[in-house]
Structure 1
């Protein structure tokens, strides 16, 4: 592969559609998101190398960066569990009781002193909102469009059209074209997950930025559940308008604009967005979206 031609434009375009963007995303927006994901992955690699030896990056070093965020760690644990189950089902293994755990799950268990990181029973509000958006979009699609949407929801940085080795080689040339870092196999798996989550969270934040831009009057008017409060007394029906279910999406919505993505990144990097720095300079790791 020519490192100058490595691009994840098609994958990111599909993922953005799967996360609620228009089925025809803005090309400039996709390129901007691609550049953001690449810069985020390179920042993650540099942060992970701070915990490594001999310039060798392992998956454990990358997972360690997520240790302070219980919600995101639990989401990652679910990802590992589902991937491990699918692997054994594809291999026709009948008895799953004696199968060894994936090394990354074992590492998280050792790091989880109080049982908080491995507790996957707690409700994940962000994941629920993504599933709600996908459900509301699918209800408005015909069979042919639904097949395209389902394909978009399955898009990732591990293409099914290529072997795992070729997927990892493409990701390595994208992140580290000069081959300055030694990557282990499971480190690429974690990086692919981080890249996917970065696109997902950019889409999540873009919907919030769009809501803020369109909001007029009551600043809380877009919150779910308000039909059962003020709207019940002013005669407004819950199932009217373009977005009746408050899932923040509707059929035929315009694609994310470059300015909306720039606003997302401004809020992420701005101390006023909720980062308490107490007058000190923010560390680079605080601006990593996926962790």
Structure 2
């Protein structure tokens, strides 16, 4: 029996736009990113299977893989809290929400994180998530350059995900495991959807850094923190409202290229020599963007 052909090409192309790529994407680049995301998700599942009970892969089995990265764990907790609050707001007629309460919203996945959080660093949420802040700055700078029509497209792109609805989660499951060799519960699919989204975000962010490195040349000040947001890429002359349709694209920049993505992967798989591991090897998942 022939397995169904499933693709998230359209979703990934919109996500890449939302994270800073040109709105006129490079099809080959999107295809490459899609293959990377799928490969990494399957690797994540294989890692999680080391901790499962042999019956159903649960969200907790996947969350456990985040234990090596405090910032990403805190980012995931914030995602869970926002999702819980969103679901509560959908039922305002039957629920009273105390937004001033000191008690943070929880579900069983947050409770699991609290159990493995021996030092309290995961749930303190006190660390600054610089990567997320930079994504927000980039999105705000892009949004300020758009006319009403293009802003609507950008907003749609920012709302795109891998598993907004149950049908999308089922597609995601079949994409990752077309032979249905693993049983996933609902929480596991939600976590995988989140990991896939974060993987696209990380790849685009690194690709833009690769581009800035290429532009820097011998200028020692070119890559100072924040320079990406003030260079001519986002100048007023390059906004969406240009008369020529062929130049009406975000930041008037070329789409992220295949070579830029390949350079990202080269750097990820070939870490700088002499990296300190403090007496131990880095976790086997160190090259997985979501972790």
TM-score, length-scaled by structure 1: 0.85
Structure 1 residue 289: Cα displacement: 1.3
Residue 258 of structure 1 is matched in structure 2 by 258
**Residue deviations 1:232-267, cap 9 Å, x none?**
xxxxxx97744579xxx9711110000000000111
Which residue in the other structure is 2:149 paired with? 144
Q: Which residue of structure 2 lines up, in the alignment, with residue 216 of structure 1?
A: 217
Alignment of 1:119 with 2:113, yes or no, is: no
Shift of residue 124, structure 1, vs aligned partner:
1.0
Q: Which residue in 2 is equivalent to 1:177?
A: 178
Q: State which drifts further: 29-38 or 95-104.
A: 95-104
Number of equivalenced pairs: 272
C-alpha distance after superposition, 1:192-212 (max 9, x if no partner): 000000000001100111011
Relative to structure 1, is the Cα distance of residues 23 and 3 closer, same or farther in structure 2, using a 3 angstrom cutoff? farther
- Contact 1:3 1:174 survives alignment (8 Å): no
Closer, same or farther in 2 for the Cα pair 1:89/1:110, shift >3 Å?
same
Q: Is 2:193 the counterpart of 1:192?
A: yes
Question: What is aligned with 2:13?
Answer: 13
Q: Give, in whole Å, the separation in 2 of the partners of 1:280 and 1:112.
A: 21
Q: Distance in 2 between matches of 1:288 and 1:239?
A: 30
The range that moved more, 32-41 or 263-272, is: 263-272
Moved more, 250-259 or 36-45: 250-259
Label 1:39 to 1:276 Cα distance change in 2 as closer, same or farther (>3 A).
Answer: farther
Structure 1, unmatched stretches of 5+, are 227-237
* Bigger Cα displacement from structure 2, 127-136 vs 92-101: 92-101
Deviations 1:9-37 (A, max 9, x none): 01000000000100011000000000000
Equivalence for 1:69: 69
Q: List aligned pairs for 1:51-130, cutoff 5 A.
A: 51-92=51-92, 93-96=95-98, 101-130=106-135
Instruction: Kindly provide the CA deviation profile for residues 164-206 of structure 1, in whole angstroms up to 9, marking residues without a partner as x.
Output: 2x22211111000111111111000000000000000001100
Alpha-carbon deviation of 1:115?
1.6
The alignment yields a C-alpha RMSD, in angstroms, of: 2.8
Deviates more, 1:217-226 or 1:3-12: 217-226
Match of 1:22 in 2: 22
Secondary structure class of the residue paired with 1:180: coil
In 1, Cα distance between equivalents of 2:274 and 2:20:
25
TM-superposed CA distance for 1:48, in Å, is 0.3
Are residues 240 and 75 of structure 1, via their aligned partners in 2, closer, same or farther at CA, if it must alter by over 3 Å?
closer
